[in-house]
């Protein structure tokens, strides 16, 4: 009986030991299984990454239609890549983006700065438009009152003259004397000879009183017939004057302290180092002689032609926010006479003295006094 009890007790101890060992091994293997299971889920996790759905040019404002997303494994996604389209929508492309290119945080920005990939001026030109520069003076540029962002209209005047259609020279033509062929003393033929002269080609008329014919020639060169018209109704002003060639600011030596050059030597030190120097007072006050306009490509070609033909152009400043379509009539001498009540004076048997051939503004006494007080350059 005692031996049986001992065997039963040993069997119970053995069973409890096996159970305890099983539980200990199971608990030890549980974290490993959990870790392996989590690693599998991480390897299989996919993250959407933003790509360009179409080619996007530098400076373009990005819209939702320009973007798409591609799922990539989480371990292949870089920290600089954009995973949310909202991070790019509404911003500007910093560089040209090809279709299918992954967007990074450095590819978009709220504002663009000058870089080797383009200029700031090009970012202000709407798609489909171009910028072109034309000459400007104080009179043609609204007394230098135009600023970037304004809108102007371009007026031009054309002096027309009559020309010989074949020679394309201004009429009247000059007369040449032609000597017919003659027979020489020895029977040889002398060919015709053309001897040009400075006499202009005129026309013959018959005097009604004398009944005699006369040959009339012009007393002066042909007078041009002038017409003025508004050619471009609305052009945006991109810049007034010459664009700065560089945006680098001059690096001046530190003020004071040991080793700092004297104030008179700072400009010389900057010039010796090849650094741009600050503009002088004269350079800052130099009036602009050129203006850059944003126009359509066809209008740019028109302005190019007018400049090459030395046509005088004048700018008219438009009201801020005015987008109405302007309609104008070409103005000639007949238009002024017909629409402004100008009367052509009749030929009278009397006149005023002294004789006046052109209208000259009068010089007032105060004008002479101001000229004496104004220092001459």
Q: Prior bond to 172 cis, omega within 30?
A: yes
CA distance 261 to 270: 11
What element of type H or E holds 269?
helix 263-272
Query: Which two structure tokens, joined as six digits, stand for 96?
Result: 């040209």
Closest Cα to residue 228, out of 303, 152, 158, 162? Answer: 158
Using DSSP bridges, classify how beta strands 193-200 and 174-179 pair: parallel, antiparallel or unpaired.
antiparallel
Please report, for residues 254, 274, 279, 281, the alpha-carbon distance to residue 262 in angstroms, rounded to integers and kept in the order given. 10, 19, 19, 21
Q: pLDDT tens across 165-183, in order? A: 999 999 998 888 777 766 6
Q: pLDDT tens across 273-306, in order? A: 444 444 543 445 689 999 999 999 999 999 999 9
Sign of CA dihedral 331, 337, 340, 344: positive
Residues in a beta bridge with 93: 108
Over 80: is that where the pLDDT of 194 sits? no
Band (pLDDT 50/70/90 cuts) for residue 111 is confident
CA distance 134 to 303: 8
**Over the Cα atoms of the chain, what is R_g?**
44
CA distance 118 to 112: 10
Q: pLDDT tens across 58-101, in order? A: 888 899 999 999 998 888 888 888 999 999 999 988 878 889 88
Band (pLDDT 50/70/90 cuts) for residue 321 is confident
CA distance 191 to 293: 61
Please report, for residues 73, 151, 158, 247, 353, the alpha-carbon distance to residue 233 in angstroms, rounded to integers and kept in the order given. 56, 9, 17, 33, 46
Residue pair 149/239 in contact (Cβ under 8 Å)? The answer is no
Higher pLDDT, 242 or 123: 242
Query: Which two structure tokens, joined as six digits, stand for 140?
Result: 């043609």
Q: pLDDT tens across 219-228, in order? A: 889 999 999 9
DSSP codes joined into one string, 334-361: HHHHHHS---PPPP-S---SS--SS--P
CA distance 372 to 254: 47
Query: Which two structure tokens, joined as six digits, stand for 30?
Result: 């549980």
Mean pLDDT for 237-252 is: 72
Q: Prior bond to 354 cis, omega within 30?
A: yes
Please report, for residues 356, 363, 366, 374, 377, the alpha-carbon distance to residue 369 in angstroms, rounded to integers and kept in the order given. 26, 11, 5, 9, 17
Q: What is the pLDDT of residue 339?
A: 96
Select the CATH number that applies to the domain covering 46-112 from these four: 3.30.420.40, 3.90.1150.10, 3.40.50.720, 3.90.1210.10.
3.90.1210.10
Q: pLDDT tens across 248-266, in order? A: 443 333 434 344 444 444 4
3-state secondary structure 43-88: HHCEEEEEEECCCECCCCECCHHHEEEEEEEHHHCCCCECCCHHHC
CA distance 116 to 27: 63
Note the residue count of the chain.
Answer: 377
CA distance 293 to 239: 7
Mean pLDDT for 238-251 is: 73
Query: Which two structure tokens, joined as six digits, stand for 59?
Result: 């400076």
Domain ranges (residues) in the chain? 1-41, 46-112, 129-159+224-245+286-344, 162-222
């Amino acid at each position: 009986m005692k031996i049986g009890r001992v065997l039963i007790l040993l069997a119970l101890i053995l069973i409890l030991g096996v159970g305890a060992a099983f539980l200990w091994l199971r608990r030890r293997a549980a974290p490993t299984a959990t870790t392996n299971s989590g690693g599998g889920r991480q390897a299989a996790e996919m993250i959407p990454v933003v790509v360009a759905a179409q080619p996007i040019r530098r400076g373009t404002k990005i819209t939702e239609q320009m973007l798409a997303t591609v799922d990539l494994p989480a371990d292949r996604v870089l920290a600089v890549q954009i995973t949310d389209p909202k991070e790019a929508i509404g911003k500007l492309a910093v560089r040209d983006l090809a279709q299918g290119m992954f967007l990074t945080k450095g590819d978009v920005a709220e504002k663009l700065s000058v870089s080797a990939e383009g200029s700031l001026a090009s970012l202000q030109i709407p798609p489909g438009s171009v910028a072109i520069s034309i000459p400007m003076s104080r009179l043609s540029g609204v007394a230098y009152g135009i600023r970037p962002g304004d809108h102007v209209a371009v007026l031009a005047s054309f002096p027309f003259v009559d020309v010989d259609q074949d020679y394309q020279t201004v009429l009247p033509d000059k007369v040449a004397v032609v000597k017919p062929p003659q027979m020489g003393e020895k029977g040889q033929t002398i060919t015709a000879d053309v001897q040009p002269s400075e006499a202009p080609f005129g026309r013959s008329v018959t005097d009604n009183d004398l009944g005699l014919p006369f040959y009339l020639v012009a007393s002066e060169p042909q007078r041009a017939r002038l017409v003025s018209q508004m050619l471009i109704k609305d052009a945006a002003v991109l810049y007034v004057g010459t664009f700065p060639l560089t945006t680098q600011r001059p690096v001046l030596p530190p003020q004071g302290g040991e080793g700092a050059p004297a104030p008179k030597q700072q400009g010389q030190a900057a010039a010796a180092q090849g650094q741009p120097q600050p503009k002088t007072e004269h350079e800052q006050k130099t009036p602009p002689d050129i203006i850059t306009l944003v126009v359509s490509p066809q209008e740019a070609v028109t302005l190019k032609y007018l400049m090459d033909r030395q046509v005088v152009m004048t700018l008219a400043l438009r009201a801020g926010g005015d987008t109405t379509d302007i309609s104008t009539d070409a103005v000639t001498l007949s238009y002024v006479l017909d629409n402004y009540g100008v009367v052509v004076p009749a030929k009278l048997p009397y006149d005023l003295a002294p004789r006046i051939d052109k209208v000259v503004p009068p010089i007032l006494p105060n004008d002479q006094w101001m000229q004496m007080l104004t220092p001459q350059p």
